[in-house]
Structure 1
Amino acid sequence: MPSTVLVGAQWGDEGKGKICDLVAGDFDAVVRYSGGNNAGHTIVVNGKKYGLHQVPSGIMYSDHVSVIGNGCVVNPKVVLEEIDMFEADDITTKNLKISGNAHVIMPYHIDLDGAFEQKLGKKNIGTTKRGIGPCYQDKMARIGLRMQDMLDEALFRDKLETALARVNPELELIYNLPIYTVDQICDEYLPMAERLRPYITETSLLLNNMIDEGKNLLFEGAQATLLDIDHGTYPYVTSSNCTAGGAITGSGVGMKNVDRVLGVMKAYITRVGSGPMPTELSYESEAGHTLTEEGYE
């Protein structure tokens, strides 16, 4: 079984989580390589439904490695909520690994996401307002904080001070929102960092070592092809490369190590967020109403 990338071939909500859960048993690791908790992968185990936003769907397999790769952005609070949810149901998370290079979603990212969407008005992108875009913006501006930064308090404080010097004037002067202090964020994030410390590692090395050992990887895409930042219906897209190519940069494995792509589609198309959809049916139409009700859209 070759290492495989699983992607949505439309605008999201194609059922990637379900398909990932169906095929994950054939692989040794499941790797999320892009996006953050703006994903929503639903799987059902023993009659119970789980909605996964941050943790890979492969977590249900106790002998599999589940990886949140360097191309992801991570909300520590959401990860811990999902870990607690699984542990409460005796589903082990001991094989969950989080890249130390993955960037951290901060509270000001969430504030800025919502404020900018509101400012755009009718031209809004239709984001989930979970801070994904602003977190990727800081990553590209080279003032972002990474998961490994939280493990060193002095380093975390120093980098946070630099980030807040840019962010606070924007919050206060442009959006009339409260500003943040270094202590305020440290009080919230450093305790979460200690809980997450056992999970944070150099996942690129881990994955390449697994490949060298003959193990097979499943790369679990989030969002979908037509929402890719470069190849989607820009500007109504997400902030990451969620096509198959993103699996390479988002995980740190070489291109030669991936030789199959599974595209997931629905028999009909739906769109997540704002933006054009030429074939859209209104809910009031008979066909639109039926598809909405039968498909739980």
Structure 2
Amino acid sequence: MSAREHTVVVDLGYGDAGKGRVVDLLCRRGTGDADRPGGAAVDRLGRGEPVRAVIRFNGGAQTGHNVVTADGRHHAFAQFGSGTFAGVPTYLSRFTLVDPAALAAEADRLAALGVPAPLRLLTVDRRAPLTTPYHAAAGRLRESERGEGRHGSCGRGVGEAAAYATAHPGDAPLVGDCSSRMRLLRKLVLLRDRLTAELGPLGAPPVEDCARAYAEFARVVELVDEAHARRLLRQGPVVFEGAQGVLLDERLGFHPYTTCSTTTFENAERVLAEAGQPRAARRIGVLRTYTTRHGPGPLVTEDARLAAALPEPHNGDGRGQGPFRVGHFDAVAHAYARAVCGGVDGLAVTHLDRVAGCPSLGLVGAYDIDGRTVERLPVGACGGQARLTERLLRAVPGRRVSPGPDPRDWVTAVEDVLSAPVVLESYGTGGGAASAVAA
């Protein structure tokens, strides 16, 4: 296998930039589907072999990567990879947090959309932590207690499960435990009792009910060991699909408005290295032509007028997350994301069709913070993320340029400010395999 045949897809913003759209397109390369007339994408990567698998390497059931097919089917991919409509199998690595109940529900939705036997397209690493109803209930209680200081949790228990696995590594329920009733029951009871003692009644299902559902999950889904990734990566090209965005990273994002997940390329690189293929993947950073985020936290370029001018077909206000917010392209924040994740080989820019209909849309290249012009955010300031967040909450947009209504001008502008080539362009919400852009 030639070097850099695999591809890692990461969002260089706050999520929702179009990862599902990009992964779907990559999974159709070499199949003919991506080349149908009316396609709304420009691919500068060249032809390659068909993708053998999508590997998820962070996040869990809170993910929502939207894909719309040429015939109008729409699905927000959570735990299944965004290549599923293209028939590409999904591997949930040990860095994902697995919710068996949510997986079953997602499989039912995909089957209703015409995907035959979705669970047969799925393999799951036995070492992956489980997300349970006890985690979800505890996470909602904690978020409720924060009041006005809430972080914007999705309420699915993913962050709670990650925190529990870190605090109690030997007791955290794992996917492999679903095959051992006694071990699973012990861990679930311990989890429920610890969280109840800390937070009070959780209002979650009985342990026995969870154990039965998880045993059925282990019966119908193929659970695999650490050798599986090595086999996949030897068979042919693989797409690694990231979740959330670099600006939400647990260590490098703007704390406390972050996710309990490593959202950079790091986990994908670890999977590659463990399989004996270090640095064998192309690194693609995904961006919209405008910057968005769900819920509270810094969004320096936010402009309420843009929300009306750029309606969102597949992302709305979240009951737990909060409002869906829209701002001008934030070159400062995206340059920070590119730097802290170690750089990219190329950029995928989505929503390029929107620039023609929104002449007020611009690119912000500097902030004004406490009367000072800031063009670059500090990288590597140990322990300084909370302080950085405080500064960003006081920041206002500084220098702004408008590349104009021509998408080609935007491509050039993004390449200039981020010092990286645009290798994928996405336009519109229709047109064959290039249909969906929101993720």
TM-score by length of 2: 0.61
Q: 1:250 to 1:235 in 2, by over 3 A?
A: farther
**Corresponding residue number in structure 1 for 2:61:** 37
1:82 corresponds to: 106
Mapped pair 1:289 → 2:308 = yes
Contact 2:249 2:261 in 1 (8 A): yes
User: What residue in structure 1 maps to residue 85 of structure 2?
Assistant: 60
1:113 corresponds to which letter in structure 2?
G
Q: Distance in 1 between matches of 2:261 and 2:130?
A: 15
1:256 corresponding residue in structure 2: 278
SS of 1:30's partner is strand
Question: Based on CA coordinates, which of the two structures has the bigger radius of gyration?
Answer: 2
8 Å Cα contact 1:10/1:265 also seen in 2? yes
Q: Aligned-pair RMSD on alpha carbons? A: 2.3
Residues 65-104 of structure 1, C-alpha deviations (whole Å, 9 max, x = no match)? 3111111111111100111222334413222111111111
TM-score calculated relative to the size of structure 1: 0.88
| Residue 137 (structure 2) aligned to one of 96, 104, 111 | 111
Structure 1 residue 234: Cα displacement: 1.6
CA drift of 1:207 comes to 1.7
For 1:223, the equivalent position in structure 2 comes to 244
Please show how residues 140-289 of structure 1 align to structure 2 within 5 Å: 140-141=166-167, 142=169, 143-172=171-200, 177-178=201-202, 184-202=206-224, 204-213=226-235, 215-249=236-270, 253-254=275-276, 256=278, 258-282=280-304, 285=305, 287-289=306-308
CA contact (8 A) 1:147 1:200 kept: no
Partners of 2:246 and 2:80 in 1: how far apart? 20
Q: Can you give the 5+ residue segments of structure 2 that lack an aligned partner in the other structure?
A: 29-49, 317-439
* Identity across matched positions, percent: 27
- Kept in 1, the 8 Å contact 2:54–2:81? The answer is yes
SS of 1:24's partner is helix
By how many angstroms is 1:296 displaced?
A: 6.4
Q: Does structure 2 retain, via aligned residues, the 8 Å contact 1:168–1:180?
A: no
CA distance in 1 between partners of 2:271 and 2:291 (Å): 27
Partner of 2:73: 48
Instruction: Give the letter aligned to residue 310 of structure 2.
Output: L
Structure 1's unaligned 5+ residue stretches are: none
User: In the aligned structure 2, how far is the partner of 1:132 from the partner of 1:233?
Assistant: 19
Q: Secondary structure at the match of 1:219?
A: strand
Indicate how the Cα distance of structure 1 residues 178 and 266 shifts in structure 2: closer, same or farther if over 3 A, else same. Answer: closer
Deviation at 1:179, TM superposition (A): 6.3
| 2:409 alignment counterpart | none
What is residue 128 of structure 1 aligned with on the other side?
154
Provide closer, same or farther for how the CA distance between residues 250 and 211 of structure 1 changes in structure 2, counting only shifts above 3 A: closer
What residue is the counterpart of 1:3 in the other structure? 6
Residue 50 of structure 1: SS of its match in structure 2?
strand
Q: Does the CA-based 8 Å contact 2:14-2:247 persist in structure 1?
A: yes
Moved more, 271-280 or 248-257: 248-257
In 2, are the aligned partners of 1:151 and 1:193 still within 8 Å (CA)?
Answer: yes
Of structures 1 and 2, the one scoring higher in RCO (CA 8 A, sep 6+) is: 1
| Correspondence for 2:377 | none
C-alpha change, 1:250 and 1:110, in structure 2 (3 Å) is: farther
User: CA 1:150–1:204 in structure 2 vs 1: closer, same or farther (change >3 Å)?
Assistant: same
Contact 1:35/1:132 (8 A) holds in 2: yes
Aligned with 1:138 (options 155, 161, 164): 164
What is the Cα deviation at residue 198 of structure 1?
A: 3.6
